[in-house]
């Protein structure tokens, strides 16, 4: 989000106005998003995370409440199997970097850190205070994508199994489901290494 002005003396922060509410608001209304919208959401957020990671920042608090829609999305019951139609999702922006840390501060190994973030979307290594990096953000992204795709939230402990179970062999959306499942791998080494690798997988998932 863009910050237009800061009045430190009076405690006033002037930010960009986004009229569409949050992804949480949208999911409350429609429950699930069509596959095309889930993919569009994933691409936008992966690019945002890529920019943050390149700037040396890990977000650590990916959740629907922190994804803001630039404009109001058209609302009607969306068919999650309709992968071919034009996506309805408007542009989104990633907000609330209050739990973010610089990657330079996370480079020391073996050091336990205070747990920050939202438990329901937190990567396993983040829960126990281990050093986190971009794969932890991809886990949080995967949790959001799973929820948008299937209309339900899973606990981090069973996220990988639930995501892999949802991959239907031979279905047109197996690639997207498999990408989400990889984001939710319990071991961070089994997730995507960086945003570029994840974007390539999302592009492949969108191929007919």
Output the DSSP codes for 150-200.
HS----GGGHHHHHHHH--TT-TTHHHHHHHHHHT-SSGGGS-SSHHHHHH
Residue spans of alpha helices (H) in the chain: 23-30, 35-54, 124-127, 134-150, 159-166, 174-183, 195-205
Across 32-127, the runs of DSSP E, i.e. the strands, are 57-58, 67-69, 92-94, 101-102
Q: How far is CA 168 from CA 35, 173, 174, 176, 177, in A?
A: 14, 8, 6, 10, 8
- Concerning whether 61 is annotated as a catalytic residue, the answer is yes
Catalytic-labelled residue, pool 37, 61, 137, 177: 61
Catalytic residues: 61
């Amino acid at each position: 989000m863009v910050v237009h002005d800061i009045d430190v003396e009076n405690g006033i922060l002037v930010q960009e106005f986004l009229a569409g509410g949050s992804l949480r608001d949208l999911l409350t209304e429609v429950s699930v998003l069509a596959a095309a919208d889930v993919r569009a959401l994933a691409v936008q957020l992966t690019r945002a995370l890529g920019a943050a990671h390149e700037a040396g920042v890990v977000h650590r608090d990916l959740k629907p409440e922190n994804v803001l829609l630039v404009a109001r999305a058209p609302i009607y019951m969306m068919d999650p199997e309709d992968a071919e139609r034009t996506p309805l999702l408007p542009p989104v922006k990633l907000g609330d970097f209050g739990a973010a840390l610089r990657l330079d501060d996370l480079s020391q190994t073996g050091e336990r850190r205070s747990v920050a973030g939202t438990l329901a979307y937190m990567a396993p290594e983040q829960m126990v205070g281990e050093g986190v990096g971009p794969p932890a953000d991809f886990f949080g992204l995967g949790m959001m994508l799973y929820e948008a795709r299937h209309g339900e939230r899973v606990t981090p402990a069973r996220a990988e199994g639930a995501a892999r179970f949802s991959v239907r062999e031979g279905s047109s959306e197996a690639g997207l489901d498999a990408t989400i499942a990889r984001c939710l791998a319990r071991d961070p080494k089994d997730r995507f290494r960086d945003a570029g690798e994840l974007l390539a997988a999302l592009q492949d998932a969108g191929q007919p």
